[in-house]
Amino acid sequence: MRVGWPLIDTLASVPLVAMGDPFVVVLLVASALAMWLRPSSQAWIAVVTLLVLAGLLCTKLVLRHRAATAYAETLQARGDQVVASTMEARWRYLLEWDIFDRTDHALRVWRVDGSGRVRLVFAHEIEREMPLTEASRALGTVQNFLRVHPFSFPVEQQRPNGLQRVLWSDIRYCWARSPDVSSSNEAPAPDASVTDGWPSPTTPGLSGVPIRCGIWFGGTFDREGRALLQIVQIGDVLQSRQVR
């Protein structure tokens, strides 16, 4: 959250719980229901609710610090130089966080928990941009996306008729096809989803397991590299507009 925008562009975040966290939602709904059933005890119920919520957040704060420390120690042991990183609470999990980071060579997703366990979930290699990818940076959709997504990466697609696409996503919107990249040897199933004649974008992870993402921003180009359409794709829903 950029609390000082537009005067200050610094991002402030303390990810103790995920958005719409079910544990917090259940607590608040139960509190509201108790107040409705016992109107005479509303003040007492509110105090108890705040105390329970404060206890939950304080516990999460301690566990988050332990998880962040374990991640930092893992980086130090590996000798990794991280350019940027962010930590997000996992939805529906009390003790786990996801950490997304960028090095000079890769975008990575780590899973950490309050006990200090750290696991690399998957990673995507950062490659040198091709001319078409560089051209896509001039599109308004891509510029708006890149402005607020520090863990972004591009994927290029081509059709036999010469049409080309460049789509950008952020590693935070992605997942590996295998539930456990580090231990699975099972070949991933082929992508069956097709949107507007294009297959769903995938990109190979460093482990060889394809990575899929839920959100893409980019554009379509002709065989000469001229921009034709700007694209926003969320899941299998595609919106496009002509480049003017």
Q: Which long-range contacts (CB under 8 A, 24 or more apart) does 53-56 make?
A: 53/24, 53/27, 56/17, 56/23, 56/24, 56/27
| pLDDT tens digits, 222-239 | 999 999 999 999 988 889
Structure-model confidence comparison of residues 136 and 196, the more confident one: 136
Is pTM beyond 0.85 here?
A: no
User: Number of H helices and number of E strands within the chain?
Assistant: 4, 14
Cβ-based burial of 211 (10 A; exposed 0-12, middle 13-18, buried ≥19): buried
pLDDT digits (tens, 9 = 90+) for 145-174: 999 999 999 999 998 888 999 999 999 999
Comparing 124 with 203, which gets the higher pLDDT? 124
Strand partners, 242: 229
How is the chain split among helix, strand and coil, in percent rounded to 5? 30, 30, 40
For 88-135, the pLDDT digits (tens) are 999 888 889 999 999 999 999 999 998 999 999 999 999 999 999 999
**Structure confidence at residue 81 (pLDDT):** 93
Whole-angstrom distance, CA of residue 185 vs CA of residue 208 = 10
Rounded Cα gap, residues 57 and 190, in angstroms: 42
For residue 196, is pLDDT > 90?
no
Mean predicted confidence (pLDDT) in 8-18: 68
Report d(CA 125, CA 153) in Å as an integer.
9
| Structure-block tokens of residue 101 | 């980071």
